[in-house]
Amino acid sequence: METSFEKLGKATDAILIRMFQRGSNRAFYIIVNRHKTNLAKYAHLLLHNTELEKDVMQQVWKEVIEKLQHKKYNETGNFKEWMQGILHKCSSAAMNRESGLVHEAEHAEEITEQQTVDKLFFNKGPRIMRLFYRRYFKEIAKAMHISALTVTSWYSHAVKQLRKHSHKKTERRNARC
């Protein structure tokens, strides 16, 4: 005979989310256990820094809780990919803090776009690109349990953004000459 906890473990993410929104901590416990390994692998893939990974994971779960409690998750979407999006955002913010791209609020207006682009390209550009080149797209997709097409799309978007920033920088240099 199955216990209520075992039955709950077989519930879909959508059902568990609704139960959590109604106050069930057990439902959230199951969500965490169901997704923590995949998120931890993705965090490691992005960051390669155990301490930073732990900090980011805490921030991710905090945001997941807040967003679920405020009903900011669209049930028609894929819950795992939604959480990976939160993880990606938190990882980017953590890497920016580590690299010095994010500064105190009172000094933010003093930082020019040129300084930000310079730091991105000259300080962290190779690090960002290594994240993509360390593993092939298929390996990344397998580790994250997503399609290789999704990984390719993310990569293409990142390259477009780098080209966009590089183009702006070149235009500014040419304008000065």
Structure tokens belonging to residue 92: 């980017």
pLDDT in tens, 91-144: 888 887 776 544 444 444 444 444 554 454 444 444 444 444 444 566 777 777
- What pLDDT is stored for residue 54 in this prediction? 92
Q: Note whether 138 and 148 are within 8 A (CB).
A: yes
Q: Radius of gyration over alpha carbons of the chain, in Å?
A: 20
- What pLDDT is stored for residue 3 in this prediction? 56
Nearest to 38 by CA among 98, 95, 82, 97: 82
d(CA 85, CA 69): 18
d(CA 138, CA 146): 9
pLDDT in tens, 20-43: 999 999 999 999 999 999 999 988
- What pLDDT is stored for residue 86 in this prediction? 92
Mean pLDDT (whole number) for 134-156: 70
- What pLDDT is stored for residue 121 in this prediction? 43
Domain boundary assignment for the chain:
1-99, 107-177
Which CATH architecture group holds 1-99? Orthogonal Bundle (1.10)
Whether the predicted model's global pTM rises above the 0.75 cut: no
Q: Note whether 19 and 7 are within 8 A (CB).
A: no
- In this predicted structure, the answer to whether residue 7 has a pLDDT above a threshold of 60 is yes
Q: Give, as one character, the DSSP assignment of residue 105.
A: G
- What pLDDT is stored for residue 36 in this prediction? 94
- In this predicted structure, the answer to whether residue 88 has a pLDDT above a threshold of 70 is yes
